[in-house]
Structure 1
Amino acid sequence: MKMLKRTLLAISLASFTQVSLAAVVMIGNPATADQLTKKQAQSIYLAKSKKLPSGASVVINELSPGDPIRSEFHEKVTGKSDAQLKSYWSRLVFTGKAAAPAEHGSATALKAAVASTPGAVGYIDEADVDGSVAVLFKP
């Protein structure tokens, strides 16, 4: 009986956790915000596109490797894991094709960087979106 109660409790907690999480969204500075397609978002985060559709130069912001929001975003948008991203960006930086994105230790820091930099993009949990940033894409 105790085992059944523990199992039911674990299932209930897992269900609650899944429901309480919002979706990850790509954000941008409101002054240079454009609505993006998945292909455009992917091109930006893989440094294949260095400008937003409006023509503004892109400043890419990332959360630190291992952050669950980072993993979710890249799984849905670029299709790459943290290890694959590290290898990909190392190659781009080494060959001089791109500068590494700025990394932030928290969604709050990333959001502040995007809010204060024209052309900046990033990603956060949708629940953290406020008037300081604009949603560009929701995977």
Structure 2
Amino acid sequence: MTWISIRILITLLFLVSQDLPAQNVIANVQVETKQLSKTNARSIFAMRVHQWSDGTPIKVFVLQDQNPTHNEFCKSILGMFPYQLRRIWDRQVFSGTGAAPVVVNSEQEMLNAVASTEGAIGYISLDNADTHEGIQMIKVDL
């Protein structure tokens, strides 16, 4: 390889490795948490953590399993496949040890549900999510 080819390859790899703002984790504006680790985000969306640090119950909202935004969220933010998350929820529901999250049909419904529910968390792909009243962005350390 020539030096120019190597520089082009390195540049392309750098651009591809950048965090793309495809998904935004959102929460109700009253949630005090502003940042989550990937592990904490995974625990919350796997329905294993039930309260925020201030004791407020967490209400998890997700899109339908076949939704492309849900698929990308699971892979890029949680680091798992959607079917793995579904298995966790199903195991908890069928064993009686937990509950599944609330499933919404669209990103607009997600915005409305999170904005109107105390302690709510969800995700969307919209770029203008921070302009919606009643929600805030939650940074996830990847």
Please state how far the C-alpha of 1:91 moved relative to its aligned partner.
0.4
RMSD: 1.8
Report the equivalent of 1:100. 100
Please state how far the C-alpha of 1:31 moved relative to its aligned partner.
1.2
Report the equivalent of 1:14. none
Report the equivalent of 2:28. 29
Please state how far the C-alpha of 1:53 moved relative to its aligned partner.
2.3
Question: 2 CA distance for matches of 1:30 and 1:114?
Answer: 9
Structure 1: gaps spanning 5 or more residues: 1-20
Report the equivalent of 1:42. 42
Paired residue secondary structure (1:121)? strand
Report the equivalent of 2:74. 74
Structure 2: gaps spanning 5 or more residues: 1-19
Question: 2 CA distance for matches of 1:49 and 1:65?
Answer: 21
Q: Show structure 1 runs of 4+ deviating over 6 A.
A: none
Sequence identity, in percent?
30
Paired residue secondary structure (1:86)? helix
Question: 2 CA distance for matches of 1:84 and 1:128?
Answer: 29
Range with greater deviation from structure 2 (64-73 or 105-114): 64-73
Check conservation: 2:58, 2:119, Cα contact below 8 A: yes
Please state how far the C-alpha of 1:126 moved relative to its aligned partner.
4.3
Q: Quickly say closer, same or farther: Cα 1:38–1:88, change in 2 above 3 A.
A: same
Check conservation: 1:63, 1:106, Cα contact below 8 A: yes
Paired residue secondary structure (2:124)? strand
Question: 1 CA distance for matches of 2:76 and 2:29?
Answer: 23
Check conservation: 1:33, 1:119, Cα contact below 8 A: no
Query: How many residues of Structure 1 are paired with residues of Structure 2 in the alignment?
Result: 119
Check conservation: 1:75, 1:81, Cα contact below 8 A: yes
Q: Quickly say closer, same or farther: Cα 1:76–1:135, change in 2 above 3 A.
A: same
Report the equivalent of 1:116. 116
More helix by share: 1
